[in-house]
Amino acid sequence: MTPDQRSLVGLAEEILRGRTSNEQLAAVEVSEARFDEKLWSELAAAGLVGIAIPEQYGGAGLGLAEVCLLLEQYGRRLALVPLWENAIAALVLSRFGSDEQQATWLPGVAAGTNRLTLVADLGGGDSQVPAGMTAQAAVVVARDGLTLVPLEGVTRTPVQTTTHAWAADVDLAAAPGEPIAGDADWVRDVARLGLAAGQLGNTDEGVREAASYLSQREQFGRPLATFQAVSQQLGDAYCDVQAMRATLWQAVWVLGQGSDARRAVDVATWWACDAGVRVQTTVQHLHGGIGADTTYPVHRRLLWALQTDALLGGASRQLVRLGPALV
């Protein structure tokens, strides 16, 4: 990472760590919108919500690599804000939106007063609007292109789906939209890498928490971490995390070069699905009975991993995508 990227990661970690304790997460989870307004305001005030928005609209003018670094910290802290949806939609609008669309929406997004969301079937088949109860507009990714759909005044019904935030059941066909002149395939690849970045942060932190817990918890007079079967399982999990990290950044780099990144993205999302769920299952298993205790945060990591896997369509779908590229 560059010095600026390290500063970005440090700032995101500081803010997210301060607002994502187990007690705070539990309180937000039972709220009506499942949305942490205070955390969102802090992220916006620090300039993190608008990192991909051009400077002329109040953003930092950064790119996909910085967005993925932010989303890795987002997954690490299991933050209950629609950061993935908003960050990817803002990146799309910054890259492909018309001057009028950018001037209308991006200043408010950078300030945290407007929130965007993303509607795209990435493999999971979910056509509802993620975080749709708190968003003012949606970037809709369809087979025939991209559309910007304002949600103000549109009837929205809250539904709980495969994301941590409440989704909205919206009749998008009845909502007036504006076309965005962009590459829908590029947007799907970017959205998938954003999910993979969040999964990496979630999985890496899960392994670290398990290592800490097993080093302190004793059985038969010595720490559980010293048992061979335990250390081997966690060692395998650590190797999986490094593979997730390597394939994610390979895909981000290839996409950033303007090259055909489909194969690299498919590999990264396969690791996000397959290893992400496997590692978190191992982490929960190694915590024993406490892993099933809802007053302890480890169960949230497995839930997040399963939700990300569902959004991406599962590991098998990534292999189906990879097949033609391999032969």
Q: What tens digit of pLDDT does each residue of 105-122 get?
A: 999 999 999 999 999 876
> Does 215 score more than 70 pLDDT?
yes
Architecture in CATH for domain 185-326: Up-down Bundle (1.20)
pLDDT band (50, 70, 90) for residue 34: confident
- Give me the CATH code for the 3-182 domain, please: 1.10.540.10
Could you tell me which residues come within 8 angstroms of residue 206 by beta carbon, excluding any fewer than 6 positions away? 279, 280, 283, 298, 301
What confidence score (pLDDT) does residue 127 get? 57
In the prediction, which pLDDT does 67 show? Answer: 97
pLDDT single digits (tens) 4-27: 999 999 999 999 998 888 888 888
Longest dimension (CA), the chain: 68
Every domain range in the chain assigned CATH 1.10.540.10: 3-182
The model's pTM: 0.94
pLDDT grade for 163, boundaries at 50, 70 and 90: low
Inter-residue contact 102 to 108 (CB < 8 Å):
no
Q: Residue 194: pLDDT above 60?
A: yes
Lowest mean pLDDT among 2-6, 79-83, 124-128: 124-128
CB atoms within 10 A of CB 227: 14
**Percent with pLDDT over 90 in the chain:** 65
Cα(217)–Cα(222) distance, integer angstroms: 8
Task: Flag the least confident range among 64-68, 98-102, 149-153.
Answer: 149-153
- Greatest mean pLDDT among 25-34, 82-91, 126-135 lies in 82-91
**Please, where in the chain does CATH 1.20.140.10 lie?**
185-326
Using 50, 70 and 90 to split pLDDT, how confident is the model at 154? confident
How high is the mean pLDDT of the chain? 90
**248 burial type by CB count under 10 A (0-12 exposed, 13-18 middle, 19+ buried):** buried
Give residue 29's pLDDT.
Answer: 78
Question: Which has the closest alpha carbon to 90: 111, 69, 105?
Answer: 105
Has residue 255 got a pLDDT over 60?
yes
Q: How far apart are CA 234 and CA 251, in angstroms?
A: 26
DSSP state of 59: S
Comparing 67-71, 202-206, 295-299, which segment has the lowest mean pLDDT? 295-299
Who wins on pLDDT, 298 or 10?
Answer: 10
pLDDT for position 123: 59
Decide which of 99 and 130 is more confident: 99
pLDDT for 162 beyond 70: no
CA proximity to 81, closest of 134, 138, 156: 134
What is the C-alpha to C-alpha distance for residues 322 and 327, in angstroms, rounded to an integer? 9
